[in-house]
A and B are shown apart, each in its own frame.
Chain A
Amino acid sequence: MIAALAPLLMAADKPELVPDVSARNVEIRYSFTGAQLLLFGAVVYPGGRIPDHPVDIAVVLRGPVQPILVREKQKIAGIWMNADSNRFRSAPSYYAVASSRPILDLIDDRTAAIYELGLHNLQLSPGGGALPEKERRFESGLLDLRRRQNLYSESPHGVEISDGVLYRAVITIPSQVPVGTYTAETFLIDHGKVVAAATRDIQINKSGFERYVALAARRHEGLYGLAAVAMSLFLGWAAAAAFRRRF
């Protein structure tokens, strides 16, 4: 009897995460210059008993995965031009990880790779059967480029834990993020093991005029082009007319 109940008791013995985000929908309007998202929540311990040693939290916000081609410039005959390229089938368009302590102090490499914690553990799925050395070169090139564009980030002390129960992390997204469904994952880490995980979805979309323009450019290309030409003709004419009256 007790043996049959053991799994249930074990499950109840584990802490749980109750995560939330400050905004489930991020709308890109004309004044969008990026956004700050607050990822917060609470750890619910079995029986409300807070452990005597500190636990750690890591949060990850990732954007939709895109297949991309990374090109590398080399100096050929004195001129810098694209010479080599490598394909990545599943590069996240956005990736930010924040943790209460540096990831490497929390878990070992294998666990980090399983949960894709940390920039160097992203599963980018390079394609084309290139040499490992070349793959590594392109991977670090990609990570470096996107890190400087603020599309990829790591903040090793970005999660604040109060009283071992409440946690919070602020993640900044830049204005050039692509639209789509983002996932916010939270991991509770204790003694080098991920003991609980939870996920929330965040929608990032263009709204209002910006959404309308982006849709028009994609679906009604002809009308969109005509509108652009008409606008330029009208503005040119209007300025000429306004100035002729003055002089």
Chain B
Amino acid sequence: MDIYLPIAGQSVNALLIVVLGFGVGVLSGMFGVGGGFLTTPLLIFYGIPPTVAVASATTQITGASVSGAMVHMRRGGVDAKMAGIMIVGGLFGSLVGAAMFRLLQTTGQVDVVIGLLYVLILTWIGGLMLKDSLLTLGYLSVPARRGPARRHNRWVASLPLRWRFYSSGLYISPVAPLALGFVAGVLTVFLGIGGGFILVPAMIYLLGMPARVVIGTSLIMILAVSAGTTMIHSLTTRAVDIVLAGLLLVGGVVGAQYGAILTTKLKPDYLRLALAIIILLVALRMFLGLFWRPDEIFSIEYL
């Protein structure tokens, strides 16, 4: 069943897009990530123009994080003060990101920067997660790890102006979550990812937040920033394809529900191992893509 996308200006197989949304939705429900890191590259492989793919994937992330955010809000798993600060940083980051995106577009280096960023971030996060899950599953053992566990990261603790975050039980400077939000905001605009798979480990390892509030807080943050980014994309690049986003969402929101059900039936450590492998595979594919001779040497830009 083919359907015409009014903004992308081409027709796509609607069923395929819904299935893609569903698959990514299952993963996002299982792992609590937006899934943008899979949607965007897959849409680009399918032949959707990169700007449209990035902008429309952002819209899907909002939908995918709604139900998760609702559940965590009801359970009190959200540090509202922390989320608020990160959202401020995130919105500011997405504005700066949009300006940087424009600049790179005029020099024609957007694809390379997007590719490099994807490779760096995915390898880093995927590597961390792989090591962590192998450790907890007992395939790897690190003897020296049992030292005195430091609650706060040294850099975060040295920042001035400390605030109290009661839900997280933290007494840290708001500059740290602000900066974290900013980075996530830039990445949301650039890569069409919600940044959940960066936020979650950063909140645990860098800020020292308790696991109880990490997922909920990051979901609220992703919800707000992806909604804000959708607005920024519609105002600046005008590349949000509402039909494409709708198709992705229909599959995505249903998939997210099945993913959440699956989570309760699977061992979380194996889930994390699986996610780490998926992330590393995507990173490998993107890495090779930088060095392989591309299918198209020439590209056309409309003036």
Chain A positions within 8 Å of B, measured between CB atoms, are 28-34, 66-73, 75, 78-82, 85, 87, 138, 141-142, 144-146, 175-176, 178, 206, 209-211, 213-214, 217-218, 221-222, 224-229, 231-233, 235-240, 242-243, 247
Contacts and interface: CB of A to CB of B under 8 A. Distances in A.
A112 to B, nearest CB: 24
A239 B246 CA distance: 13
A209 to B, nearest CB: 8
A224 B237 CA distance: 13
Contact of A33 (B2, B231, B238, B245): B2
B67 A237 contact: yes
Given A69-B301, A138-B298, A229 B227 contact: yes
Contacts of A243: 67, 257
Contact of B109 (A67, A81, A209): A81
Given A79-B112, A176-B9, A228 B253 contact: no
Nearest to A179: B9
Given A237-B66, A237-B67, A71 B299 contact: yes
A33 B62 CA distance: 30
Nearest to B242: A228
B4 A226 contact: no
Nearest to B112: A81
B15 interface: no
Contacts of B108: 71, 82, 85
A224 B6 CA distance: 13
Interface of B: 2-4, 6-7, 9-11, 59-60, 62-67, 70-71, 108-109, 111-112, 116, 227, 230-231, 233-235, 238, 240, 242-243, 245-246, 249-250, 253-254, 256-257, 261, 290-294, 296-303
Q: Which 7 A-B pairs have the closest CB atoms?
A: A236-B66, A225-B234, A240-B67, A239-B253, A232-B63, A141-B298, A175-B11
26 contacts: A30-B3, A31-B4, A68-B302, A69-B302, A71-B299, A73-B297, A79-B112, A79-B290, A81-B111, A87-B303, A138-B298, A211-B6, A213-B7, A221-B235, A224-B240, A224-B242, A225-B230, A225-B235, A228-B245, A231-B249, A232-B63, A232-B245, A235-B246, A237-B66, A240-B67, A247-B261
Nearest to B255: A239
B63 A236 contact: yes
B2 to A, nearest CB: 5
A92 B60 CA distance: 35
A227 B230 CA distance: 10
A184 B133 CA distance: 64
Nearest to A218: B238
Contact of A239 (B257, B296, B301): B257
A79 B245 contact: no
A151 B235 CA distance: 30
Contacts of A240: 66-67, 70-71, 253, 257
Given A142-B298, A214-B7, A237-B67, A229 B238 contact: no
Contacts of B70: 237, 240
B236 to A, nearest CB: 9
Contacts of B291: 78-80
A36 to B, nearest CB: 15
A226 B231 contact: yes
A31 B250 CA distance: 19
Given A34-B11, A209-B6, A214-B6, 9 more contacts: A30-B3, A68-B302, A73-B294, A176-B9, A176-B11, A217-B7, A239-B256, A240-B66, A240-B253
Contacts of B230: 225, 228-229, 232
A82 B235 contact: no
Nearest to A78: B291
Contacts of B243: 30, 213
A175 to B, nearest CB: 4
A239 B70 CA distance: 12
Contact of B253 (A78, A221, A227, A236): A236
A221 B4 contact: no
Contacts of B71: 240
A232 B300 contact: no
Contacts of B60: 232
Contacts of B112: 79-82
Contacts of A67: 302-303
A210 B245 contact: no
B234 A239 contact: no
B298 A70 contact: yes
Given A78-B291, A240-B66, A145 B296 contact: yes
